[in-house]
Amino acid sequence: MRFASALPIAALSMVTMAHAADVRAVLTPLRDQIQASDYRAAGQIVRVEANGKRISYAISVKGLWFAGAMHTLVDVVPPKSSAGPARQNDRMRLLLEMRPDGRDSIRIFRPGDSAPKELPFDEWSASFLDTAFSYEDLLDQQYFWPGQTILKSAVFGTHQCNVLKSTPGATDRTNYSEVQTWLDRVINYPVYAEKMMKQGGTVKEFTYFGLRQSSGVWSATQVEVKVRGREESAFLTIKRGSAKANLSASDFRLDQISHFADHP
């Protein structure tokens, strides 16, 4: 009887080991790509209101992994007004630092400020540029959370996908209780994701379009985000960029970020 009862346990143990191997096979290249990040990109964020009205913001982004963290610098230029170019005091820069141990941070720089403002964690879920993107969405930290499970295989459009469920640990700074990501099984890159808020269970849907490979790095040319149940949406569109930008830590010096020119 003991031998017979051990069979299900042994079988479960083999399944668990195989499942863990699958998770590692999916996570390792995702984390490796993030930790090899060295890119520039420029494009726009577009808010699409329920009546179809569109409002665009020009952005440029730099990303580099160094000193054990992912550093992302986002430079925003507001829409031009009828009176002329965007006003200098409407400019904004964000410096986001994502660390595998969950000690993430977001700082905001504006022209004329004597020092950057540390964005309090309780404001991370606030709308970024009045869109469905939040400040936290720019961190994209879910691949380093401790809870990682392959839920199933699924089809999304023309993509055969692994569905990865990511859950944060107790010390991770996040407003999300879980993120489910549909990863193309061939290129291991997201084509769709659902993020569930801790408060209220609101689900945000992210769809990735125009997947392309440059210098061995996969990226999307456009990301759409919607809050489930609402008509509004937003798009992040990349018009140009480089996957191998040869950036260095000096590109993220606070004194350099604090200096604002006329254009990003």
What are the pLDDT tens digits along the chain (264 aa)? Answer: 333 333 333 333 333 344 555 899 999 999 999 999 999 999 999 998 888 889 899 999 999 999 999 999 999 987 665 444 444 446 899 999 999 999 999 999 998 888 899 999 999 999 999 899 999 999 989 999 999 999 999 999 999 999 999 999 999 999 999 999 999 999 999 999 999 999 999 999 999 999 999 888 899 999 999 999 998 899 999 999 999 999 999 999 998 898 886 554
Q: So what's the pLDDT on residue 231? A: 87
How many C-beta atoms surround the C-beta of residue 100 within 10 A?
17
Helix or strand holding residue 42 (H, E): strand 38-48
User: Sign of torsion, CA 44 80 93 251?
Assistant: positive
CATH superfamily of this structure's domain 21-257:
Lipoprotein localisation LolA/LolB/LppX (2.50.20.10)
Is there a contact between 148 and 166 (Cβ–Cβ < 8 Å)? yes
Is there a contact between 221 and 79 (Cβ–Cβ < 8 Å)? no
Is there a contact between 225 and 138 (Cβ–Cβ < 8 Å)? no
The pTM of this model reads: 0.86
The three-class DSSP label of residue 61 is strand
Q: So what's the pLDDT on residue 81? A: 54
The three-class DSSP label of residue 34 is helix
Tell me the residue type at 73: L
Closest CA to 163 of 22, 12, 13: 22
